[in-house]
Amino acid sequence: MTTPSNTEWPDSNEFWRGKRVIVTGGSGFLGSFVIERLRARGAEQIIIPRSSEYDLVEGAAVRRLIADAQPHIILHLAARVGGIGANREHPADFFYANLMMGAQLIHEAWQAGVEKFVTIGTVCSYPKFTPVPFKEDDLWNGYPEETNAPYGIAKKALLVQGQAYRQQYGFNAIYLLPVNLYGPRDNFDPASSHVIPALIRKCLEARDAGAAEIVAWGDGSPTREFVYAEDTAEGIVLAAERYSGDEPVNLGSSYEISIKDLTELIARLTGFTGNITWDASKPNGQPRRKLDIARAHDSFGFAATTRFEDGLRKTIDWYEQARAER
């Protein structure tokens, strides 16, 4: 894939001028940063549908939203998500909600003549034993890790749908695959949070209680790549401006760390000095996750800029302040 020169890329402010943009999930964790990026570029007509008004699982609500907003661009970030525990307890809910939201939005957007549709996929769509680093071309070479498979497959179906609508109708649908996100404003609910906010909360509560230990899931051996949410938001907006290809594109940082090292790092940064006990009866999840991020750089000039430890410090500081303000 050739790298376009900067002169071939549209001016960011000019690109968004006068465009009506729907951002599903715009009030959520990642969505809030995407909204900030759009506003910084001069986007003035941003529509953030609320689930209380538009239940995107329902076709009638999707049609009403598009009729009300008449968008030029849709950034589809809304998703039913959670950690390993939530995925194990609600696999049918995760499959149905994510498939129905995306499938109906894409179909109705095409029918309404929307200019561009950006689908946010998930790293959970990759096969369980994908060679590291994960290349987009490996997406179909096996079944996803079992605990996340219903969610991952539902999101991957939206890639196929977008490609099919492009092939048959010329619909400009693109598909992005962010790796594990973290940052301020994340979900810290222990029933549904992902690994970083779960560990931050666990360590802070143990520190404040003077607890002798925390218990972490699995054996600590899996590795994960994490990308700061603000960096991911920049990648999404750049892709909307600059990328119109049919191939999926990874969004990541290329920084990989084991869950054991991650847990020890969060313990140090939060000031928890007790023991870390591993509960091997709990699932590890996918053995390794690390993305090949060359396509994002070559296709639309994206590169994450936040150092992992710096991002963790910002996330911990944000959560400690949020707790203090309750």
Angle between helices 195-209 and 259-270 (to 10 degrees): 40
- For 318, the token pair is 């944000």
- For 316, the token pair is 């911990």
DSSP string, 229-264: HHHHHHHHHHHHHH---SS-EEE----EEEHHHHHH
The C-alpha atoms of residue 163 and residue 174 are separated, in whole angstroms, by 8
* 223, 257 contact by CB (below 8 A): yes
Please give the angle made by the CA atoms of 270, 275 and 280, to the nearest 5 degrees: 110
* 86, 189 contact by CB (below 8 A): no
* 104, 62 contact by CB (below 8 A): yes
* 79, 26 contact by CB (below 8 A): no
Catalytic annotation, pick one of 54, 151, 175, 255 = 151
The C-alpha atoms of residue 128 and residue 124 are separated, in whole angstroms, by 9
Please give the angle made by the CA atoms of 226, 162 and 124, to the nearest 5 degrees: 30
- Beta-bridge mates of residue 20: 45
255 is catalytic: no
In terms of Cβ atoms closer than 10 Å to its own Cβ (0-12, 13-18, 19+), residue 167 is exposed
Q: N- to C-terminal Cα distance for the chain?
A: 50
Catalytic (active-site) positions? 151
